[in-house]
């Protein structure tokens, strides 16, 4: 790796005598780490734990994750270890929360982390401005399986009109990517001092747009994967000075190797530096918005004033939609859901989530929300892949068929699979090691593979040995 001379100069000045060990680490191999989904996997694993995160582990080497069916079933997420430090900020400072926002969320690592940390009743809104990346985000949120999630695709300024809605906002800001140099040669090639200036100015614009959506007393977690002070400590100082934000401490252990703020006067900022911490470059600070928290309305998540504009406004002039098929209401394990018939399918969501979704739908582009249950084919309701991935799926709703490793890979390639002879006809959940992978429709002489075509494994390679990560 040939580091840009200007980067080397400024970083050497910043780190001083520790620069050489830092540079040597940048030229080494990055660590590989995963985080388990506690809602789907509780099996024991024999790996070294990531010390600042729950259910997170370092692997000895990078396996071919694509060929592990449990990854596709949402049992774990491959996430860079340093970024899991978000957990400490949430655990130490977040109290009651009704609505949280991950503003720059794709591909979904921090969103799935937040979803495992937030109170179960809290609704998580995960946003990604780029539509193709928003689809990837929705896929990973779907695999994680929680029912109180909304995926949007909007610019930060689009959220401003929502008012003080969020108890927590995570801004993992688009940055110059210095912390990814070890993993991404493109980041090295695209780096320049001019791009750093573009980034820190853009970050302040993002923060200016999103700050009004934070409730008084709410938390904003600001993070980057870069090293320079303009995008890190200087932006934190600007938030304290211009937004009247309070900078909060995060307790750490010395053994974690986290570097404190490198700018005098900016306390409580945390840096992950290769060579000192086992992970990639990462920066984090936690800020609290001033003011007294306003009362929470029990009927509407978030407690902000959410004037209910008609959710049917967009549907004016369209043909009346059919009623929710009765069988759909038996597919979920709980009864506290409301059901909506969309243009081509049925969506379920917890009842207390509906006012929030109705409000968001009037201002934002919604990519995903709740649990898409079924696609309507005439009068027939075809269960969705999202339903198979949901932890709310009733265990009694459909027959299940356990697949071998080879058949699981064939299923994920969207190829034909052979079911056990005694498998009932109709829609069947196929599983691997007890974990749902999706649906097939058993016709007796064959089974139609209903795995989403856009999610299929595209590689024609089949490993010679079973890939087992957990």
> Could you report the per-residue pLDDT of 55-99, keeping only the tens digit for each?
999 999 999 999 999 999 999 999 999 999 999 999 999 999 999
Beta strands in 103-257 (DSSP E): 123-127, 149-152, 166-172, 214-224, 246-248
pLDDT at 255 over 90: yes
The pLDDT score that the predictor gives to residue 378 is: 84
User: Is 268 found in the same domain as 373?
Assistant: no
* 263, part of any domain: yes
Mean pLDDT, residues 194-223: 98
pLDDT band at 308; cut points 50, 70, 90: very low
| Mean residue pLDDT across the chain | 93
pLDDT at 305 over 60: no
The pLDDT tens digits for 161-187 are 999 999 999 999 999 999 999 888 899
pLDDT band at 322; cut points 50, 70, 90: low
Beta-bridge partner residues of 346: 341, 374
Collapsing DSSP to helix, strand or coil, 55 comes out as coil
The pLDDT tens digits for 343-387 are 889 999 999 999 999 999 999 999 999 999 999 988 889 999 999
Q: Which of 445, 375, 450, 443 is nearest to 412 (CA)?
A: 450
* 200, part of any domain: yes
The pLDDT score that the predictor gives to residue 2 is: 87
* 416, part of any domain: yes
CB of 191 closer than 8 Å to CB of 177? yes
pLDDT band at 297; cut points 50, 70, 90: low
**Domain interval for residue 447:** 399-455
* 465, part of any domain: no
User: Is 330 found in the same domain as 194?
Assistant: no
User: Is 187 found in the same domain as 90?
Assistant: yes
Cβ burial 146-171 (10 Å sphere, 16+ → b, else e): bbbbbbbbbebebbeebbbbbbbbbb
The pLDDT score that the predictor gives to residue 86 is: 98
User: Is 338 found in the same domain as 441?
Assistant: no
pLDDT band at 314; cut points 50, 70, 90: very low
pLDDT at 313 over 70: no
Q: Is the peptide bond before 120 cis (omega within 30 degrees of 0)?
A: no
* 306, part of any domain: no
The pLDDT score that the predictor gives to residue 11 is: 96
pLDDT over 90 for what percent of the chain? 86
User: Is 166 found in the same domain as 54?
Assistant: yes
The total of structural domains in the chain comes to 3
């Amino acid at each position: 790796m040939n580091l840009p001379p200007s980067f080397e100069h400024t970083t050497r000045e910043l780190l001083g005598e520790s620069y050489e060990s830092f540079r040597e680490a940048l030229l080494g191999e990055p660590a590989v780490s995963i985080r388990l989904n506690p809602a789907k996997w509780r099996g024991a694993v024999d790996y070294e734990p990531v010390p600042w995160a729950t259910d997170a582990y370092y692997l000895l080497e990078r396996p071919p994750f694509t060929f592990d069916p449990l990854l596709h079933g949402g049992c774990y997420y491959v996430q860079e270890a340093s970024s899991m430090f978000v957990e400490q900020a949430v655990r130490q400072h977040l109290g009651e929360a009704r609505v949280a926002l991950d503003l720059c969320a794709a591909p979904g690592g921090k969103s799935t982390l937040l979803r495992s940390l937030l109170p179960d009743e809290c609704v998580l809104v995960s946003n990604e401005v780029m539509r193709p990346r928003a689809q990837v985000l929705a896929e990973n949120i779907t695999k994680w399986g929680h029912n109180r999630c909304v995926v949007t695709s909007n610019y930060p300024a689009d959220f401003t009109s929502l008012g003080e809605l969020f108890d927590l906002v995570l801004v993992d800001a688009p940055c110059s990517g210095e912390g990814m140099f070890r993993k991404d040669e493109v980041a090295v090639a695209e780096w320049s001092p001019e791009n750093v200036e573009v980034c820190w100015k853009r970050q302040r614009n993002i923060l200016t747009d999103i700050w009004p959506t934070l409730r008084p007393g709410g938390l904003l977690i600001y993070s980057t994967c870069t090293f320079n002070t303009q995008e890190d400590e200087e932006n934190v100082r600007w938030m304290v000075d211009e937004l009247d934000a309070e900078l909060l401490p995060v307790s750490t252990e010395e053994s974690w190797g986290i570097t404190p703020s490198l700018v005098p006067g900016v306390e409580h900022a945390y840096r992950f530096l290769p060579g000192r911490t086992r992970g990639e470059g990462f920066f984090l600070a936690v800020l609290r918005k001033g003011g007294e928290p306003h009362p929470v309305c029990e009927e509407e998540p978030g407690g902000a004033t959410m004037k209910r504009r008609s959710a049917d406004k967009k549907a004016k002039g369209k043909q009346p939609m059919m009623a929710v098929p009765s069988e759909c209401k038996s597919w979920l394990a709980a009864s506290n859901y409301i059901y909506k018939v969309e243009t081509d399918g049925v969506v379920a969501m917890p009842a207390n989530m509906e006012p929030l979704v109705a409000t968001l739908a009037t201002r934002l582009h919604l990519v995903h929300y709740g649990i898409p249950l079924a696609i309507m084919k005439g009068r027939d309701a075809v269960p969705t892949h999202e339903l198979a991935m949901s932890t709310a799926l009733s265990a009694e709703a459909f027959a299940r068929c356990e697949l071998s490793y080879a058949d699981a890979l064939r299923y994920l390639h969207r190829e034909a699979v052979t079911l056990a002879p005694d498998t009932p006809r109709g829609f069947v959940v196929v599983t691997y090691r007890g974990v749902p992978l999706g649906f097939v429709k058993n016709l007796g002489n064959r089974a139609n593979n209903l795995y989403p075509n856009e999610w299929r494994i595209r590689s024609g390679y089949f490993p010679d040995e079973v890939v087992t990560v957990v």
